[in-house]
Amino acid sequence: MLDTSITSQQIQSSGSYIDLSSQLQVVNLGYLGQESNIFELASTYVDFSFLPLFTDFKSKTGQQTLDPNAQSGASGLDLILKELSSLKMHLAQARQNLAIPRVELAVDPEVKRRVEQAR
């Protein structure tokens, strides 16, 4: 169990105090259990880690790119957010494809006999 008093402590660095909570980010990564699969876990990472991280960075800084000296364009945060959203969609599709059970159709014996006669 995490001692919550740690988050309120301050660390002395170079003569100034830095709040520990401003340096710490906790993410619940989940696990692969019997009822989950790798696509659900990866989707959780994208949903609750990467997308909020980049969205928050963009909203706080107002930057369109990770490099402050770069020109806006294909390397911007918008492209990263777009690709993360695309990854999220593809993971959801992969998860749905795994959930479809294999269907076995029973062939009527009369139909099977007629097909064999036709050959």
User: How does pLDDT run across 47-74, given as a tens digit for each residue?
Assistant: 888 888 888 888 887 765 555 555 544 4
For position 68, what pLDDT does the model report?
54
Residue 17 lies in a domain: no
Residue 12 lies in a domain: no
Residue 118 lies in a domain: no
Residue 48 lies in a domain: yes
Residue 19 lies in a domain: no
The rounded radius of gyration (Å) of the Cα atoms in the chain is: 26
- How far apart are the C-alpha atoms of 24 and 26, rounded to whole Å? 7
In terms of residue numbers, what domain contains 63? 30-101
**CA of residue 106 relative to chain centroid, distance:** 40
Domain count of the chain?
Answer: 1
Residue 71 lies in a domain: yes
Residue 87 lies in a domain: yes
For position 83, what pLDDT does the model report?
93
Residue 55 lies in a domain: yes
Split the chain (119 residues) into runs of 10 and give each run's mean pLDDT.
Answer: 44 62 70 76 86 85 61 68 92 79 86 92
For position 115, what pLDDT does the model report?
92
